[in-house]
Amino acid sequence: MDKTELKRYRLSYIRERDALIEKINQRYERKLAALDVLLEDDPGEPEVQSNGATSAAHTARTLKDAVKEAIAASTVDFSSASLYKHYIRVNYPNLAEKPTDLSNALWRFKRDGLIEVVRKGSGTVASTYKKTPAFAVALSAAA
């Protein structure tokens, strides 16, 4: 095998791996949504904010919805770490354990053109993103 054949071979495995990961993530999201429907029958205690008021604004059922809500609330460029620290951990502590848990949702939003990379991350440094005009259109269409 020469180098070009090896590269083609490697790329085919990468595509296969990415397809399998996508399928697993979709199944995971469906299972979470099903559990949320089951839990919906028992609403439990309303979320109480520090000022004593109850919060109805935070209604995300999946991590992807929570990330979309966090992006919508963001007024500046953001990273997975900043979204996690300032929004997800505060409003949805049970949806994510660490900032890297948000990367799949951010990747999907980037793929769909809802956000774009301002500065690409590397290693332990997270990428920085910003909203695109398509994000506002998608939010208004969903409402």
Radius of gyration of the chain (CA): 18
Show pLDDT as tens, one digit a residue, over the chain (143 residues).
Answer: 799 999 999 999 999 999 999 999 988 888 887 777 777 654 444 444 444 433 445 677 888 989 999 999 988 999 999 999 999 988 888 888 888 889 899 999 999 999 999 999 888 888 999 999 998 888 888 76
H or E element in which residue 33 lies: helix 3-40
Residue 66's domain is classified under what CATH number?
Answer: 1.10.10.10
In a domain, residue 52? The reply is no
Are 38 and 77 within one domain?
no
pTM of the model: 0.57
When divided into structural domains, the chain yields a total of 2
Range of the domain at 40: 1-45
